Amino acid sequence: MFRLEKCIVYLLVACNLVESRAESTENSRSVCLLKDPPNQCGEFCLSVLQPLLDHIVKHQEQWNTSEALWLNETQGKLDRIQTQLAAQALSLEESAQKVPGDIKDRLDRMEHLQTTLQESLKKMPAELDARLMKMENQQKTLGDQLENQINLTKESQQDQLEALKNAMPINFEMRLAQIEEQQKLLQETLKKIPEDFERKLQKLEQNQKDELTKLGAQQSANQVTLKEIYTKVFWPKFERIGSRLFYINHKDAYDWQSAVDFCRDMGGYIAAIKDQEELDAISARLDDKSYWLGINDLQSSNTYVSVASGREVEFLNWNAGEPNHGNEDENCVELIRSKMNDDPCHRKKHVICQTDKEV
């Protein structure tokens, strides 16, 4: 449409130009007054404009053809776009129909889950309280059973020890009472016996003294036996070396503080050596390994104290050049091949334990 309007404008402009040219020509020649311009100038104008009109008609047909093609193409595009829009609208409508149902189902499931969680959370405190109460009751029951078992064990051990301790004194007192009774009877008899029986009485007194001596020896032997029984009950792993009881751990290795704790757990103390005789007796049972002793100068340098007695040690059998404090932390004493050496306390060695706090 725009092209057609453009052509009409061009046509009008051309007509004006032709008329202007004709007027100028006529004016240059002569002035001609037209009585009937349409009839007088129509043929001339048509003859002049005919090529232009033919050209316009020719191009108009081309334009109409192109415009029809363009309109057809545009209409096709519009149809395709309309089809796509309709398909999209249909898809959106179907999705819109499905979405509310899905959302509703999901919301229902979420509300159900939330309700279930709330109910579970409400039940949890009661269940936890019940479990805690049950655990506390079980712990209390186990504690009571353990305490009763410990008390029974202690009472049993005490009863056995009291029986062992009291067995000998009762027999001894009974014998002494019998002897005293016999002496009384003898004294009363002596009063009735003539003086010529003095020799026999002296012999009888000597026999009584011998009997008392035997009883004293028997009592001493019984005390030794009682001590051995006591040792076996309280320190079953300890053995008598010299005059004291020791335990030598050849198997496990500990740092010095762990060795101290190990001996205490066994009911004893980490060992210190009393004299050379005791050292020789202990060394005879050792191999070439290193053994921790309960001797250290942790509190004051070069002042070696026994863990068991808490006193400064009197007997030390140092190796040549020792103690040298080669490292800053060489504060604990080890025994190796009958000689003593200061060494860092964190190193692991075997251990010797004792039962008493004498040394």
End residue of a domain, out of 234, 252, 281: 234
Quick check: 341 pLDDT over 80? yes
H helix count then E strand count, the chain: 5, 8
Residue 315 near residue 309 (C-beta atoms within 8 A): no
Quick check: 8 pLDDT over 90? no
pLDDT digits (tens, 9 = 90+) for 189-213: 766 666 666 677 677 778 778 878 8
pLDDT digits (tens, 9 = 90+) for 90-110: 877 776 666 556 677 777 888
CA 356 to CA 277: how far, in whole Å? 18
Least confident of 59-63, 264-268, 293-297: 59-63
SS3 at position 250: strand
pLDDT value, residue 281: 96
pLDDT value, residue 297: 95
Establish if 106 belongs to a structural domain.
Answer: no
Portion of the chain with pLDDT greater than 70, in percent: 69
Quick one: 249 and 230 in the same domain?
Answer: no
Quick one: 228 and 176 in the same domain?
Answer: yes
Least confident of 182-186, 274-278, 285-289: 182-186
Quick check: 19 pLDDT over 90? no
Bond from prior residue into 38 cis (ω within 30 degrees of 0): no
What six digits make up the tokens of 228?
């051995």
Quick check: 315 pLDDT over 80? yes
Quick one: 222 and 250 in the same domain?
Answer: no
Bond from prior residue into 323 cis (ω within 30 degrees of 0): yes
Q: 326: domain CATH number?
A: 3.10.100.10
Quick one: 257 and 329 in the same domain?
Answer: yes
Residues with Cβ within 8 Å of residue 160, at least 6 apart in sequence:
233
Quick one: 161 and 257 in the same domain?
Answer: no
Establish if 256 belongs to a structural domain.
Answer: yes
Confidence of residue 347 (pLDDT cuts 50, 70, 90): very high
Establish if 98 belongs to a structural domain.
Answer: no
CA 207 to CA 186: how far, in whole Å? 13
Most confident of 19-23, 249-253, 325-329: 249-253
What value, to the nearest 5°, has the Cα angle with vertex 289 and ends 284 and 293?
80
Establish if 128 belongs to a structural domain.
Answer: no
Give me the mean pLDDT over the 284-291 stretch: 94
Range of the domain at 35: 2-87
CA 262 to CA 268: how far, in whole Å? 9
pLDDT value, residue 229: 61
Least confident of 163-177, 312-326, 343-357: 163-177
Quick one: 169 and 263 in the same domain?
Answer: no
Confidence of residue 349 (pLDDT cuts 50, 70, 90): very high
Quick check: 311 pLDDT over 70? yes
Residues with Cβ within 8 Å of residue 318, at least 6 apart in sequence:
339, 340, 341
Quick check: 220 pLDDT over 90? no
> pTM of the prediction?
0.40
Give me the mean pLDDT over the 79-86 stretch: 83
For 134: left if phi > 0, alpha if psi spans -120 to 50, otherwise beta; the answer is alpha
Most confident of 124-133, 135-144, 183-192, 332-341: 332-341
Buried/exposed code over 200-210 (b: 16+ C-beta within 10 A; e: otherwise): eeeebeeeeee
pLDDT value, residue 293: 97
Residue 308 near residue 345 (C-beta atoms within 8 A): no
Establish if 80 belongs to a structural domain.
Answer: yes
CA 198 to CA 111: how far, in whole Å? 120
Establish if 66 belongs to a structural domain.
Answer: yes
End residue of a domain, out of 234, 259, 293: 234
Residue 152 near residue 144 (C-beta atoms within 8 A): no
Query: In one letter, which amino acid is 184?
Result: K
CA 117 to CA 111: how far, in whole Å? 10
Quick one: 276 and 220 in the same domain?
Answer: no
CA 212 to CA 176: how far, in whole Å? 9
* Alpha carbon 160 to chain centroid, angstroms: 46
Establish if 114 belongs to a structural domain.
Answer: no
